[in-house]
Structure 1
Amino acid sequence: MKVLVVGNGGREHALVWKIKQSSLVKEVYCASGNAGIGKIAKRVNISPTDIYNLVRFAKENKIDLTVVGPEQPLSEGIVDRFNEEGLKIFGHQKSAAILEASKVFAKNLMKKYGIPTAKFESFEKEEDAIKFIKEVGAPIVIKADGLAAGKGVVVAKTEEEAIQAVKDMFAGKFGPASKRVVIEEFLEGEEASYICFVKDDKLAPMPTSQDHKRAYDNDEGPNTGGMGAYSPCSLITPEMEKEIQERIMYPTLKAMINEGRSMCGFLYAGLMIGPKGINVLEFNVRMGDPETQPIMRRLQSDLVEHILEILEGNIENVKPKWNPDYAIGVVMASKGYPDAYEKGKVITGIEEAEKDPDVVVFHAGTEEVDGKIITNGGRVLTVTATGEDIFKAREKVYSAIEKIHFEGAFYRKDIGFREVNRKKEPVPKFL
C-alpha cells in the first residue's frame, strides 16, 4: 500500500512513524511534513489545505489510503473531495467537522441532546459580551468560535481580564475564528483527554491521556496548542470511562447522526472532571497534539489495519493492543511561543537523545537546511519516552531533553505532575 498523511506537526510525525511500521504499507508520503518526517517518509510539497492538489497527487501517485492529521483541511472538506474522486481517506466529512470548527455549534448540540457541558452564551457583538461579563462576573471562560490552533481560549480570573479577551477577539486576534465568541461558566476540576476511533454510532476507545495547555510550569501563562502529555491518566477510572462513553461519546455520535452529520474518523473529547461531575470542555474531530505522540508510542497493533476495518464498516472488529507502560511527551518550544518567536535556530543532540531505545523524538516545527535541522515553528519537538511507571518515564524523557539544544529552547519541567501526585511518591530530584 501507499499511504499519504496530511499535516506537518508532531501529531503527523507520530502517525507517520506508526503507519510506517505496518506490514501492509510499502511507501509513506506526507504533505507537507517536517525534517523528522522527511527521514522516514517522502515529503510532498503541498500545503495540508491545498485540497485540489492533494487530490491530484493522490490520483497521479495511486495512493491507497490518506490519513488526515489537522482540523483545518477536515473543516474545509478534504474528505468530501477525496470521496467524490473515489479515493480512500480517513477523517470526517465537512458536515461533521463543524463539531470542532464551531464552538457555538458544539455547545448548542450538547445543550439540545443533554450532553454534559458548562453553561454558556454566544455573542456576535462586543458590547453584548461585555455586558454579560459584568452581569455574571469572574472567573469565566472566553472562547473564539472557530479554529484557532488550540489558542483561542482564555480562562479569565477577573472581569477586566475577561473584557480584554473579548476586545482582543472582536478586534481580530484570531481572524475569522473570533467573529463570534462563546462565554461559559468556569468549571473547577482537572482536565483529561479521551480519544476514540468512531464510525456512525460505534466507537473503539484509545487509552486515557492528559494534556498540559499552559505555557509554563504550575499551569501558569497563556494557553498553547499543548506543552506535553502522558498516557494513561489514572484520573479516569474504569467506572468513569464507562460513564464517559455512555453519557458523552455515544450520545454525541447519535446526536450527529440525528443532525445528518454522521462521523467517521477520530473523535477527541476534552473533559473537565470535578465537583460538577464530568463535563465536555471541547470536541476535536482529530487526534490531539501532543496526546497523539505518547498514545502512538503505546499502540502495539497495526494502525493501518484498524483504519481499513473502520472504513470497511467493521469498527466492531477494531480491538487495539496497548503497551501497559506509561508514555510521556514533552514539547520543546521556541522562545516567545505562543506569541511571536524566531525561526532558523540550529538543533543538536537529537541522535544522542534517541540512543536510549525507550526515547523517540517527534518533530513539529523543524526544517532541514544544508544538512542541519533548524527550528521552523513555535512547538519544535515532542520528546517522548516510555517506562513501567510515570516516574521512570519522566526520568527518561527529561534526561533525553538535556541532550537536545537550540537557542531559546524552553519546555515545561513538570509534565505529568498530577499523575505523580496521584501516585503519592516523591518528585524525582532532577525536577
Structure 2
Amino acid sequence: MNQLKKLLIIGFVWPEPNSSAAGGRMMQLISIFKQNGFEITFASPALDSDFMVDLSQFEVQKKSIELNNSSFDDFIIELNPDVVLFDRFMIEEQFGWRVSENCPKAIKLLDTEDLHCLRTARQKAFKENRDFELNDLLSEEVAKREIASILRCDLSFIISQFEMKILNDVFKIDPSLLHYLPFLVDEMSENDLVKLPSFEERKNFVFIGNFLHEPNWNTVQYLKETIWPLIKKQFPEAVLEVYGAYPSQKVLQLHQPKNGFFIMGRATDANEIVKNSRVVLAPIRFGAGLKGKLLEAMQCGTPSVTTTIGSEAMHENLPWNGFITDDIQEFATKAISLYEDKNLWKESQKNGITIVNECFQKSKYSDALIERINSLLNDSESHRLHNFMGSLLQHHTLKSTKYMAKWIEAKNKN
C-alpha cells in the first residue's frame, strides 16, 4: 500500500514523556508510525498540561475532542482514517463505537499500556494481605471491560510476555488478536558506557516515578518506612533522592533531610538524574506491565535493586543489572553492596546493556508491527470474520454504549 496512510491516535491524556513511562511509550509508537509513512493525528478529550509534548515538532496534528459529543462523528468522517489507535481500554469504550459506526473499514488498534485488571487485582490482594492468584482476575470487574475492549479491536498491543500468557491461558484470547510489543529503544554498546558518568562521578540512591500511579506512591512509602531505615543503619551516610511528577502533600511530607531521605519533586531531566545516581531502588509490591524506570536505569548505566514484580517480564531470565529480591533485609544489603563494590557495579551495568539489546531493541520489533498492520489493512474482512466473539460484542456494545452516550449528550444540552 503506497499511498499515505492516515492514523488517528485517541489518547487518554496528551503525551508527557518526561512524566511517565506511558508518555514515553506513546512517543515510541508515534516514531515507528512516522518512520513508516503514516500521516498522524492525535486527539484527546484531556485538558492541555504544562508538561505535554509539542506534537507539532513531530509533524503530528493535534485535535481536542469531547466525550459524549457527536462533534466527534463529524471530525472522524472528515478525517476518514485507515487506522485508529486507542490509548487504553477506557478510550476504546468511549470512542470505539463511534469509530465503528462512522468509519467501519478503519483498523482498530488498542494499546493496553498494561493490563489494568492485573494491576487492580494485585493491588486488592496486597491490601487484603493475601497472595495474588490468577483466578482473582476472573472476578475482577475491570477485567470484563478490558477483555471486551480487546475483543472488539482488530489487534491489541501487549507490553509484557507475562500478560500475553494471561490473556492466552486465563482469558482464552485468540493469538490473532494480540501483538507483543515491549518498550522500544535503540541498541547500546559498551562504548556507550564510556560516555556516561563513571562509578566515582556518581552519588546517591534514587527512585523516580509518577505519583499519580498508585504502585509508585506505595513504593515510596515502603522505602521510607521499611527499607530505608535498614540501609541507613548499615550505611549511615546514605542519601536517597525521590523524584516524580505530581507529588501530593502526602508525598512531600515524607521529606526528611536529616535522615538522608529527600523528596525532590518533578525531575526536569529524568535521564540526567538517573545517569548521575549510583543505584536505583525500586521495591515495587504490586503493578503490571513493564517498569519504564528500570529500563531507563539500564540505558543510563545505573544498576538497580528491585522485586520480582518490578523485574517481571523485563529480562527473559538474563542476569539482572543489579539484584532482584523480595526480602527486605537482603534488599538493603544488596543495595549497599552495589553502591560500594565498583566491580559488582560495573558487571551489573554490562548486564543492563545485554537486557536492553536482547529484550527492547526497536529494530527487532518495529518491522513486525508494521507488517502485522499492513496485513490487517489488506484483509480486515477475513480477520473480523474469524473474531466472532468480537463481532458479537461489537453488535451489543454499539447499541448499549451508543444510546447511553446519546442520552448523556442530550442531558448535557438541557
Is TM-score (shorter-chain normalized) higher than 0.5? no
TM-score by length of 2: 0.36
Structure with more of its chain in helix, by fraction: 2
TM-score by length of 1: 0.35
Structure with more of its chain in strand, by fraction: 1
Computing the radius of gyration from Cα coordinates, the structure with the larger value is: 2
